Amino acid sequence: MRTRAGWILAGLLLASCTNATQPDRPGDEPATIKQSLGEATIAYWFGGVGAEAMPAYEERVAWHLINQVRMNTDVFDVQDMDGNLIPPAPPLTQQTGMTEAGRWQGAQSLTNLCYCVYDSMSMSYQSAAAGSNPLSCCTGGFVNGTIRCVGPIVGCGDDGMMESADRWALLNKGPGEIRSEIFWTSTEDEGALGTAAADWFLNNALGAALSSRDSAGAAARTSTPIIPDACKPPEDTCTGGSCKGPGGETDCDPDDPEAPNECIGQCQGGAMSGEFCTLPEPIDPVACDPANLPRGWYWSFLFGQTADPVPVLSDVVHVQTDGGGKLVLTNYYDPTGDPQSISVITDSACNAMTRTFVRPDEAIEPYAGNTYQWAATATNGCVRYVAQAIDAEGFEHIYPTFGSLGMQLQGGNIVPNDETCPIWVGDARPNPGCLPTVTECSEGATRLCYTGRPGTEDKGMCDAGMDTCRGGRWSGICAGEVRPEGDDVCGDQTDNNCNGYVDEDCPVPVLPTPDTGMTGGDDSGNGGPDMGIVIGPGDDTKDEGGGCCATVSRGT
């Protein structure tokens, strides 16, 4: 398979665009087709490291670029080994459940420094900086609804590892089914960027992106500080005891002229108690602050199947070019032909998007859509936006279905993942007054809505909201809904993350012994009854929709 070197960044940073002449709309007003895509609620499939709001900005960018090449193989001159052009293909639907699965694996790999793959040529396990279908260096499992290592951390190839297929089966909680995975690690700052991740992937594993057997996938990014040896806890030289100096100090002061002598300590406790030992130099709290350390990055690219329909607007992202321009990009797919129009809707206007690429053989190549873009002119503030397309047959598509995407600008530059301008929110929507008039509902009518993940509605604290008809179309704001939180709040007896378990991973409370008026034994000389009530996790902590969740036991 051959490609142009550095094609992704070059394609993304094109200085000029081609304006496609859009056909007139038909006489009838467009009907609206909603797409339940793009919503990014708090992760709930599993808790722990990696369960953040999804998808993050850079993950969205990476997946957009992968789909961009998949849909425009002729533009990027993607050829097979025989020099034949690989035809364009429909976009892969982004599955946020797959993103969560990739994040968990990334966290395990970075934490345990385990990058293990099976090499079919040598029929052995090997540690690789990047590779396909990685193994986990522990056996994963669910404990009270939270995924974690349920076995010891082991080395590459040792007993206790978890095969890729077993991990995918465990984490396939969404509508997508994982079938393959490729990872990339980086210790450079560029590892944080979605553009760099997509560029690496498409130049090293393009076949996975173009596989016709897959219809869904996701990009997942995790990172952790790289801790140098000087910042790691000292080794236990006293074998179970502790090394202390004459004054009880546990480290030496290298700035003290007599430090060499004072660095000699003595083991207290353990197998070497009484033996001399060397006190380590203290760890620098500033230099070893995780905020000041370089980071290691781990990207997972997962692929598989989904029953979800192929989207028309597969994704919408905003990026910044090398020249400082701000672009909003979307991949449009419709096998019936070009859209009549595509726009970015902000609070101020409906902004027409233009085609990004010109196909060299468009007349004979199968139609698989194109990438469209709009150049933003704002320089500061939070720009909330949605994308709207009128397809070839006059149907209207809006992305995302509920809420809006956010682009934070400061001094003319994009600030990714700004907390004051979230990538997606469900309670803010640009004014649709600039869109064509439609009558998809009656003014003031309401309907139930929910933007949390499937399976969480009406479970635990989660509940549906209400969407209201305004100006002939549904508002796209799901008012009053309650979505999952990231973790359970200990002690409130509520399933906050709506995963079916109450107060999981929380300390077990012990209620005080009630005052019965007895001070110690009855008149028979026996001890008085133990009235203490202990609430323990037991086996019935799962919330089945309303019952309590604790085991109550009385002492005897």
* DSSP per-residue letters across 117-175: EEETTTTEEEE-SEEESPBBSS-EEEETTEEEE-S----TTSTT-B-HHHHHHHH--SS
Q: How confident is the model over 477-489, as a mean pLDDT? A: 84
Contacts 24+ apart (CB under 8 A), 509-517: 509/535, 510/534, 510/535, 511/535
* pLDDT tens digits, 138-168: 999 888 777 889 999 999 999 999 999 999 9
Q: Which residue has the tokens 């309590």?
A: 548
Max avg pLDDT among 255-259, 353-357, 452-456, 533-537: 353-357
What percent of the chain clears pLDDT 70, i.e. is strictly above it? 79
For the cut 60, the answer to whether the pLDDT of residue 420 exceeds it is yes
For the cut 70, the answer to whether the pLDDT of residue 13 exceeds it is no
21 vs 355, which has greater pLDDT?
355
User: Which of these, 312, 336, 303, lies nearest to 99 by C-alpha position?
Assistant: 303
pLDDT, residue 261, reads 63
For the cut 60, the answer to whether the pLDDT of residue 546 exceeds it is no
DSSP-based three-state secondary structure for 100 = helix
For the cut 60, the answer to whether the pLDDT of residue 9 exceeds it is no
* pLDDT tens digits, 161-196: 999 999 999 988 778 899 999 999 998 888 999 999
Between CA 39 and CA 37 the distance in angstroms is: 6
For the cut 90, the answer to whether the pLDDT of residue 436 exceeds it is no
pTM value surpassing 0.75: yes
User: Which of these, 178, 182, 183, lies nearest to 214 by C-alpha position?
Assistant: 178
* pLDDT tens digits, 103-112: 999 999 998 8
pLDDT, residue 480, reads 92
The residue type of 412 is G
For the cut 70, the answer to whether the pLDDT of residue 473 exceeds it is yes
432 vs 516, which has greater pLDDT?
432
